[in-house]
Chain A
């Protein structure tokens, strides 16, 4: 009943592990799949190794956390080892980043043989200059990155967008025009900040970090709803999903699947099984026989 397809990739259910959460190693990607996810997305990785920021890199705030891990990863060569270690039956999405269209294309091309899809991180709110959201906030740059990657690989490509823009629809369209096969909405919000009141010091070593978790869900649902009306390609929702009700909201807004990140802090990887069970029960009660029937329902009669 939960089986679905995203860009021709068969999924046993519409949930996915979000990029950057328990996604740095084959072992943890396999574990999250065994715990019930329909697909897994890796931590974003790049051409060269990157140590990321100093700690503290995460801190809890009301309704979620803010994080500035700094896209730490061992570089594409070492990361291939991990991709090879992911079990064959696991639908695997590689999240890649770079500082130029060429770099994105070269990282994507060198791992495409191991994965079912590439997700482009043009949306990290605290990446180094020239990476992350500084690309995804510019429709022209987004277009160039997506085009370069599409020229370089044959697997489907999803572009992950930042909510931190005046008009997310404009960016979404430029990614679609450049050939993106899907969109992932949204990356973490902000950046936000947490200050310790006893010492007047910012807690994160980077001072700012991306906000994620239940508090950003309304923004994420609105982004999916907004973009759904303007593009033809499938949307993958992310932002604050913690139970099946949240997943249903994203589907009704127009997403074909949902990613789950921060909720793992509260509930562990077992959360995927719980969301799926709840979703299945909901579908039976409400008379839905497939996920597809639910996608975009909130737009009807509007």
Chain B
């Protein structure tokens, strides 16, 4: 039974930035995990979806990178090595890799699933470029880890502290490489603009969506999107560009825990 939280000890914690920590767990990697899939993380008072940001087959480890934004994530940030957490999953449809040249575009904590994807792509012999975007340079995530893996990093920040001042889609527009595919994750308004650029250039792209999740197993319907009724926890969270075209709410609104619409 996979839909039951398995209580695991936190094996290691990496401080990625002021606001982001990666929590590492031992994980039996004979069960398949694909970058872009997520797990439900339980701190014994609440449970939230988190992408898998590290998949280490050699050490049989997974990592989950959590950005401190509210009550749950702040509580998790207080935990230490050896503390316990419940993890169930993995869930959803992850990224598919194709071709030889990949570009990833990640905004903020959106780099989490892309970090795992980039490492897998490099391991498969693909050439990987990355646009890493954040508000300020201290918040640029996984740049050293990915550089070490052989990924070509292109950063940009809202405040220009890393050199390039501007948004991810602006940075992307200035790069003229040929790519076989793109993988994108970040705030939805960012993905919306990045999609326009990629569409213009005819680069096939996959996007990882966030919607409010309760069950994560495709039954409660909380994460369904307008246009198609797809469940982001089951048919997503990763969708292709041509699929997103029929998701009417993409870039416009999402829903809260009661199902009320909230504009991005």
**A and B: interacting chains:** yes
> Which chain A positions have C-beta within 8 A of B225?
27
Chain A interface residue bracket vs B? 35 or more
Interface locus among B16-24, B156-164, B171-179, B227-235: B227-235
**Do residues B44 and A199 form an inter-chain contact, with CB atoms below 8 A?**
yes
**Do residues B219 and A199 form an inter-chain contact, with CB atoms below 8 A?**
no
Indicate if B197 sits at the interface (CB-CB under 8 A): no
In chain A, residues 155-196, which have Cβ atoms closer than 8 Å to a Cβ of chain B? 194, 196
> Which chain A positions have C-beta within 8 A of B2?
60
Indicate if A274 sits at the interface (CB-CB under 8 A): no
Indicate if B258 sits at the interface (CB-CB under 8 A): yes
Indicate if B166 sits at the interface (CB-CB under 8 A): no
Indicate if B42 sits at the interface (CB-CB under 8 A): yes
B216 and chain A: residue at smallest CB distance: A58
In chain B, residues 70-96, which have Cβ atoms closer than 8 Å to a Cβ of chain A? 84, 86
Q: How far is the CA of A32 from the CA of B228 in the complex (A)?
A: 10
> Which chain B positions have C-beta within 8 A of A198?
7, 84
Contact of A72 among B5, B229, B258 (CB under 8 A): B258
**Do residues B229 and A27 form an inter-chain contact, with CB atoms below 8 A?**
yes
A50-B226 CB under 8 A given contacts A55-B46, A55-B48, A57-B214: no
**Do residues B226 and A26 form an inter-chain contact, with CB atoms below 8 A?**
yes
The 9 closest A-B pairs by CB, nearest first: A31-B229, A60-B3, A55-B47, A28-B229, A22-B221, A27-B229, A28-B224, A198-B7, A58-B215
In the complex, how many angstroms separate the beta carbon of A272 from the nearest chain B beta carbon?
Answer: 13
Q: Which residues of B line the A interface, CB within 8 A? A: 1-5, 7, 40, 42, 44-48, 84, 86, 213-215, 217-222, 224-231, 234, 248, 256-261
> Which chain A positions have C-beta within 8 A of B234?
268
In chain A, residues 227-268, which have Cβ atoms closer than 8 Å to a Cβ of chain B? 261-262, 264-265, 268
Contact of A50 among B213, B231, B258 (CB under 8 A): B258
> Which chain A positions have C-beta within 8 A of B229?
22, 25, 27-32
**Do residues A56 and B219 form an inter-chain contact, with CB atoms below 8 A?**
no
> Which chain A positions have C-beta within 8 A of B227?
27
**Do residues A58 and B4 form an inter-chain contact, with CB atoms below 8 A?**
no
Contact of B260 among A54, A78, A205 (CB under 8 A): A78
**Do residues B218 and A268 form an inter-chain contact, with CB atoms below 8 A?**
yes
**Do residues A265 and B221 form an inter-chain contact, with CB atoms below 8 A?**
no
Contact of A58 among B46, B86, B217 (CB under 8 A): B217
**Do residues A49 and B258 form an inter-chain contact, with CB atoms below 8 A?**
yes
Q: How far is the CA of A5 from the CA of B221 in the complex (A)?
A: 27
In the complex, how many angstroms separate the beta carbon of A89 from the nearest chain B beta carbon?
Answer: 16
Contact of B259 among A30, A73, A261 (CB under 8 A): A73
In chain A, residues 45-88, which have Cβ atoms closer than 8 Å to a Cβ of chain B? 49-52, 54-62, 65, 67, 69, 72-75, 78
19 contacts between A and B (CB under 8 A): A22-B224, A24-B259, A26-B226, A56-B42, A57-B215, A57-B220, A59-B5, A65-B217, A67-B219, A72-B258, A73-B258, A74-B260, A198-B7, A199-B44, A199-B84, A203-B5, A205-B45, A265-B218, A268-B218
> Apart from A72-B259, A268-B218, what 6 extra A-B contacts exist at CB < 8 Å?
A21-B220, A57-B215, A57-B220, A58-B215, A203-B4, A203-B5
A25-B224 CB under 8 A given contacts A59-B4, A203-B5: yes
Indicate if A217 sits at the interface (CB-CB under 8 A): no
**What's the count of A-B pairs with C-beta under 8 Å?**
138
A27-B228 CB under 8 A given contacts A55-B48, A60-B3: yes
> Which chain B positions have C-beta within 8 A of A43?
221, 259
Q: How far is the CA of A301 from the CA of B239 in the complex (A)?
A: 56
> Which chain A positions have C-beta within 8 A of B222?
24, 72
**Do residues A264 and B218 form an inter-chain contact, with CB atoms below 8 A?**
yes
> Which chain B positions have C-beta within 8 A of A24?
220-222, 224, 259
> Which chain A positions have C-beta within 8 A of B86?
196, 203
**Do residues B5 and A196 form an inter-chain contact, with CB atoms below 8 A?**
yes
Indicate if A23 sits at the interface (CB-CB under 8 A): yes
> Which chain B positions have C-beta within 8 A of A52?
214, 257-258
A262 and chain B: residue at smallest CB distance: B219
A261 and chain B: residue at smallest CB distance: B219
Contact of A28 among B7, B84, B221 (CB under 8 A): B221
Q: How far is the CA of A69 from the CA of B216 in the complex (A)?
A: 12
